[in-house]
Amino acid sequence: MRFAGGLAVVVLSCGAVGHAVMTGLDTGIDRVDPFKDMKNRPQAGHGMNFLLVGTDGRDKITPEEKREYRLGGAPCHCTDTIMLVHLSADRDRATVISLPRDSYAEVPAHQDQNTGRPHKAHAVKLNAAYSEGGPNLTVRTVENMTRVKIDHYLEVDFTSFMKTVDAVGGVTICTAKTMRDSYTGLELLPGTHRLTGGQALQYVRSRHVDGAADLGRMQRQQRFIAALIKQATSSGVLLNPVKFKQVSSTLLGSVRADRDFGSEQMLALGQAMRGFTPSSSEFASVPVGDTAYEVKGIGSTVKWDEAKAAKLFESLREDRPLADAPAGRSAQPAQGGGSRPPTAVPVDVPPDEIRVQVENGTRIAGLGGRVDSALRATGFDTTGVPGAGARRDVKRTVITYDPRWDRSARTVATALPGSELRAVPGQGRTVLVTAGTDYQKVIPVRADDPYRGQFAVATGDQVNCGT
């Protein structure tokens, strides 16, 4: 969230009004010194590294908001979200790596910020480093675990998160399946949703949507950041000085940052990031070896896969992209020099797992063949032998399916917007598509999990809603 907001700031700073709007904005930032007295730090690599943390700030939430967004209980005064963000030296790419808050960590010797008592190095869950030693111990612990030198520290809490989302007019999220979490109150049906600040907080906090728990939540947080980047770069906020200053004041007025992060740094970054878009960002999580690593006195922790994690952070230090195809301006345009093809819409069932038979329900010659070819092109397992429908006067395309394969049918319906779904018990696993005169095109679809490659990376345009 902080990265996306900061991105909005630096993008505007490229414009003619940038300096005038930026002047004085950083005076409201609450300053911390996370690098005080730090020794034996990792060697600086190429590019710039930010440690972004989201803290549990429910003590600042109103009673009404606590009830509406299920924020009961006492605040833990710990880091609820931890992300390492790398901006490449050429400013063509941003890499966001989520660090599980329950990661097994060993904090170095330090003085407890609450009691003043000295502590020897000991094992903790990563988010507890903030409770014991604040930003300084958090930065020291992350640097020790990753061997990546942190250049800047940024911190946001629940309140500033909600206010910032509302200030940009909400953020659009799409989901391929129903999402319910009784703990946060999240309830989203399949489709596209415009989330307000409070709803967005429910979305990024939910851990009980599926069996993926906190690891699934980290991917939803990454999707949200990608959506926020898209909103910031595609809306008129960045081109409207008045609106931009309103959003920036909301954002920066409630953030904690290191002493060296201010408007000058944001302006310098902005000049270098003129072509930055959602596709310029890539998202990954630290490779995990054991999701239930028991530690005496601590409980169940998340143990990193040391070998894979070491390779990931080596790529970060050496300023190499994680995605198989580099993100950003180096991406290849569509064939023929045209614009990029539309982003595929995420669906619940992978299209290559769905058997489809196409029939032509009209008198339009060759329509069945065109529909079959288009569905196969986006990944569906079509028969390749379209037939003639029993009726030749079908106006609206019909998808007939066995109720046992309803999720597959909804995936086909996503690819054929406006079509009608009809359940036929006993039909079997093959989905029947009867093309009507309303057919225009097939919308590209993809499995809901776009993370690929040795580090399970996805670029921002891959995790955004389709266009």
The region, left, alpha or beta by phi > 0 then psi within -120 to 50, assigned to residue 43 is beta
Sign of the torsion formed by the C-alpha atoms of 183, 184, 185 and 186: negative
CB neighbour list of residue 443: distance below 8 Å, 6 or more residues apart: 342, 345, 378, 414, 415, 416, 417, 466
For residues 324 and 353, the answer to whether their CB atoms sit within 8 Å is no
pLDDT band for 16, please (50, 70, 90 cuts): very low
**Distance spanning both ends of the chain, measured CA to CA:** 22
pTM for the full predicted model: 0.70
State how beta strands 94-98 and 79-87 pair.
antiparallel
126-185 per-position pLDDT tens digit: 999 998 999 999 999 999 999 999 999 988 777 777 777 887 788 888 887 788 888 888
Highest mean pLDDT among 59-73, 149-163, 194-208, 294-308: 294-308
- In degrees, rounded to 5, the angle at the alpha carbon of residue 430 between the alpha carbons of residues 464 and 410 is 30
The residue assigned the tokens 């931009």 is 244
Other residues' Cβ atoms within 10 Å of the Cβ of residue 206 = 23
pLDDT at 201: 84
Kind plus residue range of the DSSP H or E element containing 456: none
For residues 340 and 467, the answer to whether their CB atoms sit within 8 Å is no
401-412 per-position pLDDT tens digit: 999 898 899 999
